[in-house]
Structure 1
Amino acid sequence: MQRYIEENAFVLHARPYRETSLLLEVLTAQHGRIGLLARGVTGPRRQMLRAALQPLQWIRFDALQRGELARLTGAEAVDAAPRLVGDAALAAFYVNELTLRLAPRNDPQPDLFAAYARMRERLRAGEPLAWTLRRYERDLLQSIGLGFDLACDGDGQPIDPAARYRLDPEHGPRRLLIDRGAADRSDAPSGQALLALAEDRMPAGGDQASLRRAMRRVLEHHLGPRGLTSWQMLGELSRAGVGGQPSGN
């Protein structure tokens, strides 16, 4: 039996369960991702509790775990969640879904917890969405052991700022030996862009798109054949002519 007392967590997902309960997925620093069952939270007297159990909210909770899910016994909001609309709201949905799919359950994730907190404040501050997402993708992969050194290629050679690279999910950056034109390098960021991501410096606008495509290829590899709902939503918006790449994912 596992007991959680005043555990800090970010809510990744919440969905109704039966008539008055919620099934939650939360991210903690000390225990990683945890599944929670919150019983009886839909009544008029539990509005404050239910409001605290929404995605992106930072909470402090108590729970008791005997099986796969822990039973929530108490929770409170630590602060006010960022109020997001439009592209920023879609970006938050993407981050939560990606974390839910890749972060393992019951595995301590202090670095990922800190990265999520930074991402959340960047969304609150209205920082550039594409750059906010690239940094979080980088930190997520690194935290769960799937990242790679962006300052060196897969063979240990320093990244050349003037060269182009493909991101191999298992090997790391691979230098393109022949530049065959813009179409061939659409998902091959420059070495300068990789170094900027490694050093937490926002790359030039021209490098943002290739960096996004390269990171997506890496994520698709680790996610497997079932993609993300947020990617499907983004594609539908794009086909409908609502923006281009609204949230940079």
Structure 2
Amino acid sequence: MRISAEPAFVLHARAWRETSLLVEVLSANHGRIGLVARGVQGPKRHPLRAALQPLQWIRLEAVQQGELAQLRGAEALDAAPRLVGEAMLAGFYVNELTLRLTPRDDPQPDLFAAYARTRERLRALQPLGWTLRQFERDLLDALGSGFDWSVDGDGDPIDPAARYRVDPEHGPRRVLSDRGAGDRSGAATGRALLDLAADRPPVPEDLPGLRRVMRVVLSHHLGPRGLKSWEMLGGLPSSRDRTTGRES
């Protein structure tokens, strides 16, 4: 199958054999595609190499042959965001999460749009914590594993004054107040869940709980093997957005 003039975002590229790359992209019409880019590495810099950097938006030509497609050409459609520090790790996280949870050759137009929005938010240096929670929500929705964050798992409206844990299969479950503070520590406020449902930035003190409940849901779908980016973010002196005090 010929793939022609296909818009895509580069998720990952790694060396393969002596002069080639294995590249993973999220494409507009074919979902995630694995590509073999032959002859792009060597003593002389190949013009295609610059277009195959993570977060780069490209237009590609390829021929699908079994599990992997053979890359025939690619051109950059803009300049990839120049990210440093925690923003760079956030970009790595978005790419790694997309790689781990999306199947190959399954069109995901909503996810493609969500990725494009997230990429621009990272470029614009928007608060990392909220940017990542938005992407996690949109990714789960695109894959059919999301929730209506305005109601709990039984269909009752979320109480903004209550706290909730999130069952990855059932949805939000209210934490009973008589169980004590220890039971509430891994929960998010109802106010934060309603903000997520409304695509409204939560107050800074609500972001840590929202991060924790989303981590529970994502870990369920990822299985026993976590993400390298989680380990990297956990090793930083602070996992908070230094410009806003919000956790990333």
Task: Give the deviation of 1:73 after TM superposition.
Answer: 0.2
Summarize the alignment of residues 176-215 of structure 1 with structure 2, pairs less than 5 Å apart.
176-215=175-214
Q: 1:131 is matched with which residue?
A: 130
In the alignment, the residues of structure 2 paired with residue 123 and residue 179 of structure 1 have an alpha-carbon distance, to the nearest angstrom, of 41
Partner SS state of residue 211, structure 1 = helix
Partner SS state of residue 226, structure 1 = coil
Contact 1:187 1:211 in 2 (8 A): no
Summarize the alignment of residues 1-249 of structure 1 with structure 2, pairs less than 5 Å apart.
2-43=1-42, 46-237=45-236, 242-245=237-240, 248-249=247-248
**For residues 180 and 33 of structure 1, do their structure 2 counterparts lie closer, same or farther at Cα, with a shift above 3 Å needed?**
same
Task: Give the deviation of 1:248 after TM superposition.
Answer: 3.8
Partner SS state of residue 4, structure 1 = strand
In the alignment, the residues of structure 2 paired with residue 244 and residue 54 of structure 1 have an alpha-carbon distance, to the nearest angstrom, of 25
Task: Give the deviation of 1:44 after TM superposition.
Answer: 5.9
Contact 2:20 2:37 in 1 (8 A): yes
In the alignment, the residues of structure 2 paired with residue 110 and residue 244 of structure 1 have an alpha-carbon distance, to the nearest angstrom, of 31
Partner SS state of residue 48, structure 1 = coil
For 1:24-61, what per-residue CA distance to the aligned partner results, in whole angstroms no more than 9, with x for missing partners?
11001211111000001124665431011010000100
For 1:112-141, what per-residue CA distance to the aligned partner results, in whole angstroms no more than 9, with x for missing partners?
000000000000000000000000000000
In the alignment, the residues of structure 2 paired with residue 216 and residue 43 of structure 1 have an alpha-carbon distance, to the nearest angstrom, of 40
The TM-score with structure 1 as length reference comes to: 0.94
- Structural RMSD (CA): 1.5
Select between 28-37 and 176-185 the one with higher mean Cα deviation: 176-185
For 1:181-234, what per-residue CA distance to the aligned partner results, in whole angstroms no more than 9, with x for missing partners?
443222211111001011110011110000001100110010000000111112
Task: Give the deviation of 1:19 after TM superposition.
Answer: 1.1
Select between 20-29 and 131-140 the one with higher mean Cα deviation: 20-29
In the alignment, the residues of structure 1 paired with residue 178 and residue 202 of structure 2 have an alpha-carbon distance, to the nearest angstrom, of 21
Partner SS state of residue 184, structure 1 = helix
Select between 66-75 and 42-51 the one with higher mean Cα deviation: 42-51
Task: Give the deviation of 1:151 after TM superposition.
Answer: 0.8
In the alignment, the residues of structure 1 paired with residue 28 and residue 146 of structure 2 have an alpha-carbon distance, to the nearest angstrom, of 19
In the alignment, the residues of structure 2 paired with residue 245 and residue 112 of structure 1 have an alpha-carbon distance, to the nearest angstrom, of 26
Contact 1:29 1:111 in 2 (8 A): no
In the alignment, the residues of structure 1 paired with residue 83 and residue 178 of structure 2 have an alpha-carbon distance, to the nearest angstrom, of 41
In the alignment, the residues of structure 2 paired with residue 215 and residue 74 of structure 1 have an alpha-carbon distance, to the nearest angstrom, of 38
Give the aligned residue type for 1:75: A
Gaps of 5+ in 2: none
Count of matched residue pairs: 244
Contact 2:239 2:247 in 1 (8 A): no
In the alignment, the residues of structure 2 paired with residue 101 and residue 243 of structure 1 have an alpha-carbon distance, to the nearest angstrom, of 25
Give the aligned residue type for 2:40: V
Partner SS state of residue 148, structure 1 = coil
In the alignment, the residues of structure 1 paired with residue 52 and residue 98 of structure 2 have an alpha-carbon distance, to the nearest angstrom, of 17
Contact 1:179 1:185 in 2 (8 A): no
